[in-house]
Amino acid sequence: MKVGVAGASGQMGSLASTTLLESDDLHLIALYDAYTAGSIGGIPISQSRDTLDGCDVVVEFSRPEVVMDNLDAWRRFGANVVVGTSGFDADRIEELRELWGNGPGNCLVVPNFSIGAVLMMKIAELVAPHYPAAEIIELHHDRKADAPSGTSIATARRIADAAEGQRRRVDSEEIVDGALGAVVDGVRVHAVRLPGLVAHQRVVFGGDGEVLTVSHDTIDRSSFMPGMLLAVRSIRDQKEPVAVGLEPLLGL
C-alpha cells in the first residue's frame, strides 16, 4: 500500500512519517507540507500537492484552515484519506460529507488516534449503566491550556447518555468553592495540573462496597501511532465513504 503524508513537517506529521518508514507492510512514498521544506528518511517534503497523486492512502495532519482544500485534492487524486487534523465538529463533518460525496476513495476523520483513550471512553459507556455514580479525575502537565480536558468532557457526556437518569445526589457541602469539581452533564470532573505529569485520566465508578476504575496514562505522542497505522491499514475496507472515529476498527 502506497502512503503519503500531508502536513509532514508538523509534529504529528513527521512522527507519522517516521512511523510509516519503519512499517514492513506500508510504503511511504511521498511527503507534502505547504509551509516547510526538508526531507524524512530520504523522501523530500514537497510544497506541491501533486506529490501525493498516486498514493493509495493519504495521512492528513495539516492545519484546520487548509484541510478542506487538501481533502478536495486528495479526493480528486482518488486516494483514501485518514484525517488527523483537528477542528472537525458536527458542522465541518457535514461540510466534508458534501465535499467528499462518493469518493471514489474513503475518508476517515479520527478525533483521537489513541486506542487507549477510545477504549477508555467505550468502557466507561459500557460500565455506566451498572453503577449508581461516577466521577472523573484527569491529570495533565501544568502547561495545558484548558480544564477540564476535552477527553474528560467527552467521557462525562458518554457516561451521562449511557446511564440515563443516573444522577448521584451530592450530599457533601462545599466548604471551599470548587472542592467537588466541575459538573459536566451531571458527572463530576476534577482536573489536576502539575509538572511531571503528561496526560492521564481515571474514571471511577462507585457502587455498594466496591469501586471500578478505568485509568489511561499517556507518556508521549507515540501512543497515537498504533491507531494511525490501524486506520491506514483498514480504510480501504470502510463501508461508507465518510466515517468518524476508530471505534468500528476496534470491533467496539
Nine cell digits for residue 249:
476498527
Euclidean distance between CA atoms 66 and 88, whole angstroms? 13
Q: What cell numbers appear for 66 in the block?
A: 487548509
131-150 binders of a copy of itself (CB under 8 A): 132-135, 137, 139-140, 142-148
Question: Known catalytic residue: 2?
Answer: no
| Residue 197 binds a copy of itself, judged by CB under 8 A | yes
Interface map 94-123 toward a copy of itself (x if CB under 8 A)? --------------------xxx--xx--x
Half-sphere exposure of 182 (CA within 13 A, CB side): 17
- Cβ-contact 223, 11 below 8 angstroms: no
- Please identify which of the residues 2, 122, 144, 200 carries the catalytic annotation: 144
| Cα-based distances in Å from 144 to 10, 28, 47, 149, 243 | 19, 33, 32, 9, 29
Give the total of residues touching a copy of itself (CB under 8 A): 79
154 counts as binding a copy of itself under rule CB under 8 A:
no
User: Under rule CB under 8 A, which residues in 163-182 are in contact with a copy of itself?
Assistant: 168-182
C-alpha–C-alpha distance, residues 231 and 170, integer Å: 42
β-strands 199-207, 133-140 pairing: antiparallel
Taking the complex as a whole, the smallest distance from the CB of residue 49 to a copy of itself amounts, in Å, to: 30
Instruction: Specify whether the CB–CB gap between 152 and 201 falls below 8 A.
Output: yes
Active site residue 216: no
- The nearest distance, CB 202 to a copy of itself, in angstroms, is 9
Which of 122, 140, 190, 216 is labelled catalytic?
140
The region of 26-34, 73-81, 104-112, 218-226 touching a copy of itself under the rule CB under 8 A is 218-226
> Hey, which residues are catalytic here?
140, 144
